Structure 1
Amino acid sequence: MKYAISYSTPHCGVDPDAIAAFARHAEACGFEALYVPEHVVLYRGARLGPWEIPTSLPYADPLDTLTFVAAATRRLLLGTAVLLLPYHHPVTLAKRLATIDLLSKGRMRLLTVGVGALPGEARAVGVDFATRGRRADEAIDVLRLLWAGGEEGVSYSGEFFAFEDLCSFPKPVGDAGLPIHVGGSSDAAARRAGRRGEGWFPGGRLDAAQRAAQWELVRSAAAEAGRDPDALDHTRWGTIDMTHERAEELAAAGVTRVVVSPASLDLDEQCEQMSEFAGRFGLTGSGSS
């Protein structure tokens, strides 16, 4: 099992010193990666389930934040949970992601994409909310095509994106482009993960039976697409105070990575909680930055 940490700018703020200290301590503790969330914009009345989102929450741009984190660390992998893919044009996104990966020496490896849940956010960027799933599917294909393309250029013609003979450089580190994990809590997201993703990172408020059914849907969709289900990562949210018994339950359910968040807004307490978690699970790190 791999363990990663999440930094929530909406709740912890966008203080560069705090973000750098948090990231360095996470790296020193031995966490594999740092994840950040995304909302492009908020508006009055926006809700996630029963929760109305305060409009003043500072959702920093996730890719800019991860670039900053990369500069402050040496080993920590960079992740999004989740990047709202339909709200980004894949041609410009391909360049941004490749640049971050290159400048971080190959650490932009836990890109997790979702389709978004706020209709007003889609309207704000000119996206039809009803088509965001199909748009995300095309965007994944376009990203991979551009990363794989050479000096002769590549072409694409789809429902949402079309171009001819485009060349996108620089490339991500290595020859295979960037892994793309799929987040979400719907059956459509599970199928997308199986058909197109390197991994599955479900959210939402689902019970154990629903999560098990969705993981089987991911695996069956992969098999139907001629892909190896056993090659897929399975990431889940955990808690900073989780027990070994809970970790064993997740592993038995096929989970390969757990992402946790500190249960405090105070930096010193966050670092203490990370150190305690690292000690409890034997992560490789000194626990001090």
Structure 2
Amino acid sequence: MKFAISYSTPQYGADPDRITAFARHAEDCGFESLYLPEHIALYPGATIGPTEIPTSLPYADPLDCLAFVAAATRRILLGTGVLLLPYHHPVVLAKRLATIDVLSRGRMRLLTVGLGTLPGEARAVGVDFRTRGRRADEAIDVLRLLWAGGEEGVGFDGEFFAFENLCSFPKPFGVTELPIHVGGSSRAAARRAGRRGDGYFPGGALTPDERAARLELARSSAVEAGRDPQALEYTRWGSIDMPAERVEAFAAEGVTRIVVGVTAAEPDRQRDEMSAFAERFGLSGSPATR
């Protein structure tokens, strides 16, 4: 089992000293990776489920933050949970992601993409909210095409994106393409993960039966697409205080990675929570394993 930690810029802010201290401690504890969320723009009345989102929440750009974290750390992998893919142009995004991967020497490896749930956010960036699924599918294809393409250039002719003889350098560090995980709790997200993703990261608002059905749908969709269903990584949210029995249950469900978040607001208590988790599960950087 791999263990990751999530840093919430809306909750804890984008203070450079705080985020680097958080990331360095997570790395020292032995966490595999650090995840950051994304919202590009908020507006009065925007809601997630029944909860209205305060418009002043400081959602920092996750890729800029991850590049900053990469410069302050040595080993920890970089992830998004989730990047709102339909709201990014894939030609620009391919360059940004490859650049971070090169500068971090191969650590931009847990990109997780989603569609977004706020219609006003889509309108703000000129995207038809109803097309964001098809747009995301095309964007994944464009990203991989550009990363794999050589000096002769590549072309694409889709519903949303089109170009000819395009070259995108630098390439990801030592690989032909970066892994792309798919987030989301819908059946469409599960199908997208199976057909195009390297991993599946469902959200939290599902019953156990729904979760099992989504995972099976992702795997069956992979088979239909001629892909290996067992190669699909399965990431789930967990809690910082979860017991070993819960981790064992996750493993029995096929989970390969657990992402947890701290509950304390104060940096000292956050570090204590991370250290306690690392010791409980024997992470390689925890004091008990040094």
Check whether TM > 0.5: yes
Given residue 279 of structure 2, which amino acid in structure 1 is its aligned partner?
Answer: G
Which residue in 2 is equivalent to 1:201? Answer: 201
Superposition TM-score, scaled by structure 2 size: 0.98
Cα distance in 2 for partners of 1:219, 1:207 equals: 19
- 8 Å CA contact 2:155, 2:164 repeated in 1: yes
Cα distance in 2 for partners of 1:70, 1:250 equals: 29
CA drift at 1:204: 3.6
Cα distance in 2 for partners of 1:123, 1:252 equals: 42
The correspondence of residues 164-203 of structure 1 with structure 2, limited to 5 A, is: 164-203=164-203
CA drift at 1:174: 1.7
Cα distance in 2 for partners of 1:287, 1:7 equals: 22
CA drift at 1:265: 1.2
The correspondence of residues 68-83 of structure 1 with structure 2, limited to 5 A, is: 68-83=68-83
Identical-pair percentage: 75
Cα distance in 2 for partners of 1:170, 1:59 equals: 28
Given residue 207 of structure 1, which amino acid in structure 2 is its aligned partner?
Answer: T
Which residue in 2 is equivalent to 1:235? Answer: 235
Given residue 271 of structure 1, which amino acid in structure 2 is its aligned partner?
Answer: R
SS state at 2:251 partner: helix
CA drift at 1:287: 4.9
- 8 Å CA contact 1:4, 1:260 repeated in 2: yes
Cα distance in 2 for partners of 1:4, 1:103 equals: 21
Given residue 276 of structure 2, which amino acid in structure 1 is its aligned partner?
Answer: E
Which residue in 2 is equivalent to 1:60? Answer: 60
Given residue 76 of structure 1, which amino acid in structure 2 is its aligned partner?
Answer: I
- 8 Å CA contact 1:30, 1:287 repeated in 2: no
Cα distance in 2 for partners of 1:204, 1:3 equals: 17
Which residue in 1 is equivalent to 2:128? Answer: 128
Which residue in 2 is equivalent to 1:214? Answer: 214
SS state at 1:181 partner: strand
Cα distance in 1 for partners of 2:281, 2:118 equals: 37
Which residue in 2 is equivalent to 1:95? Answer: 95
Cα distance in 1 for partners of 2:61, 2:163 equals: 27
Listed as ranges, the gaps of 5+ residues in structure 1 are none
- 8 Å CA contact 1:25, 1:287 repeated in 2: no
What do the CA deviations read for 1:179-216 (whole angstroms, capped 9, x no partner)?
A: 00000010000000000000000004111000000000
Given residue 27 of structure 2, which amino acid in structure 1 is its aligned partner?
Answer: E
Provide the aligned length of Structure 1 versus Structure 2: 288
SS state at 1:113 partner: strand
SS state at 1:190 partner: helix
Structure ranking higher on relative contact order (CA contacts 8 Å, 6+ apart): 1
- 8 Å CA contact 1:81, 1:183 repeated in 2: yes
- 8 Å CA contact 2:204, 2:237 repeated in 1: no
Which residue in 2 is equivalent to 1:150? Answer: 150
Which residue in 1 is equivalent to 2:19? Answer: 19
Superposition TM-score, scaled by structure 1 size: 0.99
Which residue in 1 is equivalent to 2:119? Answer: 119
What do the CA deviations read for 1:60-118 (whole angstroms, capped 9, x no partner)?
A: 00000000110110000000000000000000000000000000000000000000000
Moved over 4 A (4+): none
What do the CA deviations read for 1:112-149 (whole angstroms, capped 9, x no partner)?
A: 00000000000000000000000000000000000000
Q: In the alignment, is residue 285 of structure 1 matched against residue 285 of structure 2?
A: yes
Which residue in 2 is equivalent to 1:269? Answer: 269
Cα distance in 2 for partners of 1:244, 1:175 equals: 35
